[in-house]
Structure 1
Amino acid sequence: MNFTNTPSFISHGPRPGLRLALAVVASVALLVGDARLGLMDPAREALSVALYPLQWVVNAPLSGAQHASEFFADQARLKQENARLKTRELKLSAQLAELATVKNELAELKAMNALRAQRAEKSLLAEVLYTGRDPFSYKIIIDKGQDAGLVAGQPVVGDAGLIGQITRVQPLTAEVTLVINKDQMVPVMVERTGVRAILYGYGGGVELRYLPVHADLVIGDRLVTSGIDGVYPAGLPVARVTKVERKPGAAFLQVASLPVDGVYRQRYVLALDTGANRPPAPQPQP
């Protein structure tokens, strides 16, 4: 069947030229209306709201990767900063501890020099190297010995008072037995009253023994060397009374005392030369 000459009942619209002219006119009208009156703003807002989920889905992988990269970079940087700050803190702590030690040593040296200037006896400044091998012997080793002229028997003092006596001398070092040693005895007197007694070490502390029960002694009295033995010069602080107990029927007081502070912490000491004050050795009997 031939449809060539069949009339068309369907309208195909305006011609292409007319369509182009209408499109141009509409475009210009929209451009002018949008520029002058903002006619397309509601359309843009509606379109942006409608396309936002699609935009978020498209940008989510890139944004997530960027945030993850920044997170790990921040973590690495924080770890490095934390390690650097810890190292700096340790260095500063070590420097502060060293500074405090030097400050204490300087104060101790100043006190020792002041004490040295006050004493009439010749003295030698020495540094404590270490304690004895037996911790219960209460002995220390100083860095001066026979080369410095030290001899056994010399008293050793700290900035607070008497701390011990030289008991063994070697060429370069000397051994000092502290007053808290159980074999040490020091003639003392009560500074307030002048009452004389013997101070005994008992291994870690000192105590007065064989003091009459009627003796004038109270808590807080300071005990100083009496000087009657010729070994320890008079007036050196040794201990302070911390307890006085008078038991009924007892012949002697029970007295507890605390040695001077330097016995436990002294770094520098003075070895006193009291040879001129010592009595001559007794002659043997015929």
Structure 2
Amino acid sequence: MQATQPTFFKQGPKPLTRVLIFSTLSVALLVGDAYYQMLSRVREQISVLLYPLQWVATAPVNAALEASSFLQRQTELIAENRQLNDERLLAQGQAMRLKALEAENAHLRALKQASEHQPRQSQLSKILYNGRDPFGAKLVVDLGERAGVKEGQIALDASGVVGQVVRVQPMTSEVRLISDRGHMVPVMVERNQLRTVVYGSGRQNLLEVRNMPPNADIKAGDVLITSGIDGIYPPGLPVAVVSKVERTAGSAFARIQCKPLAGIDQHRFLLLMNPPATLPPYPETSPTPKPKGH
């Protein structure tokens, strides 16, 4: 049967014929699609069939781009978060400094008002650091001999007596706090003018009134002010308030504890009251008359 087939079916059209046929067909399809949209439906069907292949082909590239974008975004977010955290810490530090400055300004205003009502002139001094003795209650301030500071001057704040200058250097001075162990201040009860002495018992401890009989007219809540009989502390300066009075049967003395009115462990500034004027001397003791007959 193959031997009887015409030559046309055995060899097919010549290459030139094929080119002309396919070229004509292509031109016809182009013209028909351009003017009559003949292949739009075909393209839609082909695009649907090819979409999975396109997705598979582009998936690695898209995944790489998304991963790169995600990592870049994460890096930007970490940097932004770090910057915001630094700004927050800076703002908190500024807020704390502002709050501290406001408290310090309020304290300075209170000191200024207190100095205007004191019987003597006073100087504003800044606390530099605590004394070297870890068992004592002392402070070092920034005023010394060059500023006219002398031993015995009284240190106080807006609420009351803080202590007394016990050592003076050219540029600094050492202030012994009223809470220092063994330090004593002559005081009197503001309510009834009962005179006594208040003693320090340690920096972190309350003050004490010693050697008071159990029937002494003193009670919790009484305010103790300087009596002025020592010639060092001017009278009327607030010192402490009585916090506890214990009267034990069989005891010769009452146990009286007091809380300082001044902020002895607070603030950064103190007032150093100028020393008092020279007091008149003690009267001379007359010689003891000798017995007659000698």
Partner Cα distance (1:84, 1:282) in 2? 77
The runs of 5 or more residues in structure 2 that have no matched partner are: 11-16, 288-294
Partner of 1:84: 83
CA offset at residue 27 of structure 1?
8.7
For residues 51 and 73 of structure 1, do their structure 2 counterparts lie closer, same or farther at Cα, with a shift above 3 Å needed?
same
Deviation at 1:51, TM superposition (A): 3.0
Whether 2:113 is the aligned partner of 1:114: answer yes
Q: Does the CA contact (< 8 Å) of 2:152 and 2:275 recur in 1? A: no
1:264 is paired with a residue whose SS is: coil
Q: 1:21 to 1:169 in 2, by over 3 A?
A: closer
2:151 paired with 1:152:
yes
Structure 1 156/34 Cα, relative in aligned 2: closer, same or farther at 3 Å?
same
Give CA-to-partner distance per residue, 1:229-261, whole Å, 9 cap, x none: 111111111112222222122222212221124
The aligned counterpart of 1:220 is 221
1:60/1:235 Cα in 2 relative to 1: closer, same or farther (>3 Å)? same
1:119 offset after TM fit, Å? 1.1
Query: 2:246 corresponds to which residue?
Result: 245
Alignment coverage as a number of residue pairs = 278
What is the identity, as a one-letter code, of the residue corresponding to 1:236?
L
2:272 alignment partner AA: A
Using the alignment, how far apart are the partners of 1:169 and 1:281 within structure 2?
27
Equivalent position amino acid for 2:118 in 1: R
Contact 1:231 1:277 survives alignment (8 Å): no
Residue 273 of structure 1 and its aligned partner are, at CA, apart by 2.2
The AA in structure 2 aligned to 1:221 is D
What amino acid sits opposite 1:262 in the alignment? G
The aligned counterpart of 1:93 is: 92
Q: Aligned AA for 1:224?
A: I
Q: Provide the residue aligned with 1:199 in structure 2.
A: 198
User: For residues 86 and 169 of structure 1, do their structure 2 counterparts lie closer, same or farther at Cα, with a shift above 3 Å needed?
Assistant: same
> Is the Cα contact below 8 Å between 2:161 and 2:262 reproduced in 1?
no
Do the aligned residues in 2 keep the contact of 1:231 with 1:278 (CA within 8 Å)?
A: no
Farther off after superposition, 73-82 or 20-29: 20-29
CA-atom RMSD in angstroms: 3.3
- Normalised by the length of structure 1, the TM-score is 0.82
**Could you tell me how far apart the structure 2 residues matched to 1:27 and 1:146 are?**
110
Which residue number in structure 1 is paired with residue 64 of structure 2? 65
* Counterpart contact for 1:225–1:235, Cα < 8 Å: yes
Calculate the TM-score normalised by the size of structure 2: 0.80
Point out where structure 1 has 5 or more consecutive residues left out of the alignment.
none
Tell me if structure 1 keeps the 8 A contact 2:111–2:157: yes
Contact between 2:183 and 2:199, CA under 8 Å: does it hold in 1? Answer: yes
Give CA-to-partner distance per residue, 1:183-219, whole Å, 9 cap, x none.
2001112222322221000112311112221223332
Partner Cα separation in structure 2 for residue 207 and residue 128 of structure 1? 26
| Alpha-carbon spacing, 1:129–1:215, altered in 2? closer, same or farther (3 Å) | same
Range moving further from structure 2, 181-190 or 45-54? 45-54
Contact kept in structure 1, 2:198 and 2:209, CA below 8 Å: yes
